[in-house]
Structure 1
């Protein structure tokens, strides 16, 4: 039986499926692999199932052309933690789990939109601290999203799912910035530039993949084009945003608030962000639902099984 190494604990249903076809070695720690662990895994196992934080950088693959492992079956749609070119140069294929994460991640985007616009985190903290003195007409006035403009950066599966929720659920006008035109099943208008989107939206939602082209896509210049009452929501990857520039924009009152599920240097969250009442902070909950994580894991395992059986990989990257 082929050997499969799983780098983090996964739901029982996923492990049961994997054990039907592989001898499974499950790493019980929840922390990312270290470089030595990654290199050892490539030597010892036929397939490795890594995930976010397991930094398979180019140097991990040095001298690994004859390694036993020939597939990294990534758990997650994002694979910016894997140097795919270096892996392929070493004869190692890479797969991911697209589709499984779409609806759950869009739900988190919607939640962050509402939480930051309506100051929900701030209000919840007030109640828990025993500081709520009762309702009055001017207490904690936020931004009503109905009839406002939602600007979405990146109109792939997740971007489109967010757009449907914003338009049909909240009654928002949707504009988007994308590298190519999209055939959409909801009213949405493509704008010609990121600057136009940032300046025209009441709430900006980031849904682009991480990569060299999107690293610090939202920088000080982009933030400066946003309206003072506008909010920024990021459910993509942390390095899409220049975090220092975001902190500066929030401290200067350039924008009204932010809702973040991802961070540039996870799990480190800057003290300045944690100190701000107008910032909603979540611990990367985008896909954190049991059925979603099961679907992701099963998709990763099916990629591994296809590799084992010599079949075309369902989800190559």
Structure 2
């Protein structure tokens, strides 16, 4: 019975919120017209209170790309979608993309923080999610000059080559173990391990790669947490579109994000500290993974750990 009363209260709240949202939207529209504001891009028909166009994107009768193709044929290369309480600009031509990300890039440099960026990306501190400003410019400079320069990428060519050779050797070993007969290979796992090992060795060194002479348990734990974090960036979180639902944490995604973020933060903190101690204890240490490069840049600056984790993550 309590559940039914709660459901009725929630339904009433959503209906009331919907009417309030429509009223505010109408009021805002009149205000903008009165001020002579610029006309917004067209919106597809089918908008509903509260949910906006969300129901049109979840249709099982039509593939999503077909829906967007039909809209762009009808409304042109630029259109606006209302997804819950969020607005989304959709462009479908390279000319409009250039206008957004080259000609008017500063106007499009910031975006609302989604739940994943808030809880998994240090409240937007990590470079890909940071708002435009001094911190973003500093992170971009470090990433471009120290981490992702052509010289740095070329220096890791041997890592990529050795990992590819190792995976090919593993397939060959399986073939030999099967008496040189056709053998099934889990390509998904093989490619996941290959990708992870290349990234792990580039970022943190050989000790954090799977099956490369380091602590395999530590490496697999790192791989598991990393893959879980990537997966959490793809889940649907209701509060991303209906902010007032954040306190309810429907499906528990936010709680899971906080847990994974804490585990990753602790793991990367230990990783950075291990690199720092190794550099102090070995006079001729010549490590050149991303963490070593960033430690050389930041040295013992206050907040170095947070800045390093924001780049390597």
Q: Would you call these one fold, judging by a TM-score over 0.5?
A: no
Question: Which structure ranks higher in relative contact order (CA pairs < 8 Å, sequence separation ≥ 6)?
Answer: 1
Q: Structure 1 length as normaliser, TM-score?
A: 0.29
Q: Which has the higher helix share?
A: 2
Q: Structure 2 length as normaliser, TM-score?
A: 0.29
